[in-house]
Amino acid sequence: MGATGAVGNEFLRILEQRKFPLASLKLLASARSAGKTLKFRGEDLKVEELTEKSFKGIDLVLGSAGGSIARKFNPVAVAAGAVVVCNTSAFRQDPQVPLVVPEVNPEDIAWHKGIIANPNCSTIIMNVPIWPLHKVNPIRRLVVSTYQSVSGAGAQAMAELEQQCRDWSAGKAITKSVMQHQALFNVFSHTSAVADNGYNEEEIKMVNETRKIFHCPDIRVTATCVRVPVLRAHTESINIEFTNPMTEAQVTQVLSKAPGVRIVDDRRKNYFPMPIEAADGDDVLVGRIRQDVTLDGRGIDLFVSGDQIRKGAALNAVQIAERL
């Protein structure tokens, strides 16, 4: 579901790259996208309009069509006998729906009742490197600041940033219609709705989803989510307060063996994670591993970068599907 969007296109790439076993593939999107063709394994597949009759004979649905679509069609797909891996926020906090990062809590897949939720992209990119540390030394508090690429706002937002670059280069006026603020040469707070306490929805997602995925309702998380003029891959600054003292050497040792993590940390060359190198990759890059000088040995700072469309969305969902 949502085959023609940025995540939908990435689903096709990843299913092909990972040689996902399937007998047939159906591409579903809105009526305005019906009739388009997308390539998969060298063939042109026609996009069909998503309707309540779309799921007959379907075993697995990979969904990325938005929350309202998910709320309407996920139960229909389940009633038809399918399992839905949902890439929207619609079911993430439903206690009957597992919220899964395969490197963290794959065992939760087993208790699904037809729907498995894919977490928010920023949550996934943070949780992949901090979970192996949490297992060794329980985390008491996390402070995270995100530098989120425009890919998080979808394919049209990426196209808008590219157009703003072209317009600026040609001396034309820079216009915006997809994003609330100009992305080019700008940094702005994530434009999801802001609650009475001042936190926006993206920040609240990182708090609540981490608690659910870790099965740790007491872990303290505070987040500041920001959009930056980068096409693809989100970056995050993470400050961790552990229960017990932990050295940067111990952290590096744990992360060097962690699934889905690649350490990029060369102080001599000043070479650390960058979104331009995380883009199109499956791993979360981790660097700037250093002791927090204010926490008496219990604090560590990390700087991480991961592809929002791949590990932050489509890849995580396909990994769940592979486990199924």
Taking residue 218's Cβ as centre, other Cβ atoms within 10 Å add up to 8
Tokens of 17: 């790259």
Q: For residue 164, give every residue at least 6 positions away whose Cβ sits within 8 Å of its Cβ, in sequence order, or none.
A: 174, 175, 176, 182, 183, 184
**21, HSE (Cβ side, Cα atoms, 13 Å):** 3
**Closest listed residue to residue 251, CA positions, set 281, 294, 288, 196:** 288
The amino acid at 86: C
Catalytic residues: 121, 234
Report how far residue 207's alpha carbon sits from residue 296's, in angstroms, rounded to the nearest whole number. 25
Tokens of 108: 């939760």
> Using one digit for the tens of pLDDT, what is the confidence trace for 243-270?
999 999 999 999 999 999 999 999 999 9
Query: Do residues 152 and 233 touch, judged by C-beta distance below 8 A?
Result: no
Residue 154 pLDDT: 86
Report how far residue 173's alpha carbon sits from residue 229's, in angstroms, rounded to the nearest whole number. 17
Q: How do strand 284-291 and strand 299-306 relate by DSSP bridges? A: antiparallel
Report how far residue 291's alpha carbon sits from residue 71's, in angstroms, rounded to the nearest whole number. 44
Give the distance from CA 138 to its chain's centroid.
Answer: 23
Query: Do residues 203 and 190 touch, judged by C-beta distance below 8 A?
Result: yes
Query: Do residues 91 and 114 touch, judged by C-beta distance below 8 A?
Result: no
Q: What is the H or E stretch that residue 146 is in?
A: strand 139-148
Query: Do residues 231 and 149 touch, judged by C-beta distance below 8 A?
Result: yes
Angle (CA) 227 229 234, round 5° = 55
Report how far residue 115's alpha carbon sits from residue 60's, in angstroms, rounded to the nearest whole number. 10
pLDDT along the chain (324 residues), means of 10: 93 97 96 94 96 97 94 97 96 97 98 97 98 98 98 92 98 96 97 96 97 97 98 97 97 98 98 98 98 96 97 97 96
> Using one digit for the tens of pLDDT, what is the confidence trace for 23-81?
999 999 999 999 999 999 999 999 999 999 999 999 999 999 989 999 999 999 999 99
Q: For residue 294, give every residue at least 6 positions away whose Cβ sits within 8 Å of its Cβ, in sequence order, or none.
A: none
The amino acid at 287: G
Q: What is the H or E stretch that residue 138 is in?
A: none
Give the N- to C-terminal CA distance of the chain in Å, as an integer: 18
pTM to 2 decimal places: 0.96
Tell me the three state secondary structure of residue 83. strand
Residue 142 pLDDT: 98
Domains for the chain: give ranges and CATH numbers: 6-119+314-323 (3.40.50.720), 123-308 (3.30.360.10)
